[in-house]
């Protein structure tokens, strides 16, 4: 079974600064996807960024980037130039890769509440 751990229940950052959210996971699988989802106060789940485990290059999406360390089973999210609209709960998630098997079941961490202060 897969587990996802987010060790920071809450974090805060000043507007325009950079913040890093941590995530570790445990799996015996070799091929998988990792995700960061954002859940603002509206509670809508929004996909922020996705990383394929077989890719060594870290994924980036505008101000969002990840630091993927496969051997350490670590997947942190860096938010640059933080904006007030980034205030949200952030969830790290895992999905097995490949046809067949549970390649649809997302496993989530408990989340990190990020507050961006003006």
Using CB under 8 A, list all residues that contact another protein.
4, 33, 42-47, 50, 52, 91, 93, 95, 97-99, 102-111
Q: Secondary structure of the chain: what % helix, strand, coil (to 5)?
A: 5, 50, 45
In the complex with another protein, which residue's Cβ is closer, 27 or 80?
Answer: 27
Identify which of residues 47 and 84 has a Cβ nearer to another protein in the complex: 47
CB 19 within 8 A of CB 79: yes
Q: Environment class of residue 7 by beta-carbon count within 10 Å: exposed (0-12), middle (13-18) or buried (19+)?
A: exposed
Please report how close the Cβ of residue 118 comes to another protein at its closest, in angstroms. Answer: 27
Minimum distance from residue 33 beta carbon to another protein (Å): 6
């Amino acid at each position: 079974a897969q587990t996802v751990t987010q060790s920071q229940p809450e974090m805060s950052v000043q507007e325009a600064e950079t913040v890093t959210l941590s995530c570790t996971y445990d799996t015996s699988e070799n091929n998988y996807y990792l995700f960061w989802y954002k859940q603002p106060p509206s509670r809508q789940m929004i996909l922020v960024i996705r990383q394929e485990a077989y890719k060594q290059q870290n994924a980036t999406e505008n101000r969002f980037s990840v630091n993927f360390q496969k051997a350490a089973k670590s997947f942190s999210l860096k938010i640059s130039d933080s904006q007030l609209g980034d205030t949200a709960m952030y969830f790290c998630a895992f999905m097995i890769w490949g046809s067949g098997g549970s390649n649809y079941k997302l496993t989530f961490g408990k989340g990190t509440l990020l507050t961006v202060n003006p």
